[in-house]
Structure 1
Amino acid sequence: MLDSFLMRAALAGLGVALVTAPLGCFVVWRRMAYFGHATAHASVLGVALGLALSISVVWGALAVALVMGGLVAWLGRRGHSSDAAIGVISHAALAFGLVAVALTPGLRGDLTAWLFGDILAVTRGDLAVIWGSAAAVVALLAWRWRRLLTATLGDDLARAAGIDPRREELVLVLALAVVVAVALKVVGALLISALLVIPAAAARPLARTPEAMAAVAAAIGVTSALGGLWVAFLLDTPAGPSIVCLSSVIFAVTSFVPRR
């Protein structure tokens, strides 16, 4: 069954959609969309380093994303605003990544697939990494769900409940770094944040509880992934952008639904 490239692409899109749904809900609730976008941009440096050093691009992107999260937290303690710290680090990482690509012969063609995604070229090894990472992130979020929700409601409430809000924020940063790293192959660095934000935003008017919102977001993400692949097959369009386009259409439709 896995010999079909379309089947491998569908399984890859399904795995990414299932893990970005609950994480995307926290991104929406905490207004971290800019951080997700910045992490995706910073992953370009990880891609360049991975290709230049002949190591796994996933490990390179994961390392850069984790370093970025640590630097944002450190700059925040130094008195810089979160928006300023994220903007400086993400654009600096993107610029250094593009310079590294220019200085390394033969990388420009390879980088295109990582910027815009190449889901149809997913291998069995990629599927193992995607589904293994997705299972780990979902398990982490399920384990910390109540603590993360409490910290999302407010720092003071979290401290009153004996929860360290900074620790829960680091959990989200770690999960976000892993998801960005494994989703590079599916939609590319430029569209990862769309998979995090759009399904969760589309699910918000349709749910009454946080758990229901995560479930609806997962359904929207799966529909977008499989439907986007079908549209790409019929119209001969890029698969990654087609997935994001379909999720955007679903968001436009749900925007007319009164919030529950």
Structure 2
Amino acid sequence: MLDDFAIRAALAGVGVGLVASLLGCFVVWRRMAYFGDATAHAAILGVALSLGFSLPVTWGVLAVATVMALTVSGLSDRWQGVDTVLGVLAHGALALGLMAVAFVPGARIDLEGYLFGDILSVSKSDLAVIWVGAAVVGGLLMWRWQALLTATVNPDLAAASGIDPAREKRILTLALALVVAVSIKVVGALLITALVIIPAAAARPLSRTPEQMAIYAALISAFSALGGLWLAFQLDSPAGPSIITVAVAVFAVTSLSRGLRA
């Protein structure tokens, strides 16, 4: 079954979408969208370093994304209104990564694939990395769900309950870095944050509880992955952007339905 590239693409899209949407709920609740952009854009620098040192791309991306995520987290803890710094880091890391790729000797790289994703070329080993990474992040979020939720809603209440809000934020930071590392082959560095945020944002108008929002976000993300692949086959369009386009369409529908109910 896995010899069929379409089956591999569908499994990769669903795997990344499910875990990205769960993490996306916390990103939306904490208003960390720009934080995600800075981490995702650093992935291209990780690709360049991996090629330069002959390392697996996933490990290089994970290392650089983790460093960037921890750096951004530390800056946001020190300063209020850190949007400008995040913008500089996000686009600076992307520019530096694009320059670094050009200087890797003898490297033949599909840069467009790393920027926008190349889900149709996912191999069996890529699929294993994606689902193992998704299982790790999903298990971590489920294990720390209540603590993460309390720290997100009310850090003071979390501290009074014996929960360290800074520790929970670091857990989210590391989870985001891992999602970036396993997602780059599916939707690319420029669209990873969209896959994290949009399904969660689309699920918000439909939900009454955090758990409902997480379930709806996962369903919307899986639908977007499969629907985007179908759209790409029908229109001969890039698969990664097609997945995000379907997610945006679902977001528009749920937002409109909320407006009509109001």
Query: TM-score band, normalised by the shorter chain?
Result: over 0.9
Residues 120-145 of structure 1: per-residue CA shift (max 9 Å, x gap): 00000001000000001000000000
1:152-167 to structure 2, matched below 5 A, reads: 152-167=152-167
User: Unaligned regions of 5+ residues in structure 2, if any?
Assistant: none
CA offset at residue 68 of structure 1?
Answer: 1.0
Give 2:18's aligned residue: 18
- CA shift in 2, pair 1:219/1:111, >3 Å: same
- CA shift in 2, pair 1:10/1:83, >3 Å: same
Within 2, Cα distance between the matches of 1:254 and 1:31? 20
1:225 matched to 2:234? The reply is: no
Secondary structure, aligned partner of 1:255 = helix
142-151 or 101-110: bigger deviation: 101-110
CA offset at residue 81 of structure 1?
Answer: 4.7
Give 2:27's aligned residue: 27
Residues 190-240 of structure 1: per-residue CA shift (max 9 Å, x gap): 100110011000000001010110000010000000011011111111111
Give 2:126's aligned residue: 126
Give 1:101's aligned residue: 101
Secondary structure, aligned partner of 2:110 = helix
* Identical-pair percentage: 63
Residues 147-173 of structure 1: per-residue CA shift (max 9 Å, x gap): 000010122121111111110000000
The two structures, once aligned, show a CA RMSD in angstroms of 1.7
Within 1, Cα distance between the matches of 2:201 and 2:13? 19
**Contact 1:203–1:220 (CA<8 Å) still a contact in 2?**
yes
Residues 105-128 of structure 1: per-residue CA shift (max 9 Å, x gap): 454642221111100000000010
CA offset at residue 38 of structure 1?
Answer: 1.3
Give 1:141's aligned residue: 141
In structure 1, what residue type is equivalent to 2:60? G
User: Unaligned regions of 5+ residues in structure 1, if any?
Assistant: none
1:66 matched to 2:66? The reply is: yes
Superposition TM-score, scaled by structure 2 size: 0.94
Within 1, Cα distance between the matches of 2:230 and 2:126? 21
In structure 2, what residue type is equivalent to 1:164? D
In structure 1, what residue type is equivalent to 2:126? D
**Contact 1:76–1:85 (CA<8 Å) still a contact in 2?**
no
Secondary structure, aligned partner of 1:49 = helix
**Contact 1:72–1:82 (CA<8 Å) still a contact in 2?**
no
Aligned length: 260
CA offset at residue 95 of structure 1?
Answer: 2.3
Within 2, Cα distance between the matches of 1:216 and 1:46? 32
102-111 or 65-74: bigger deviation: 102-111
Give 2:241's aligned residue: 241
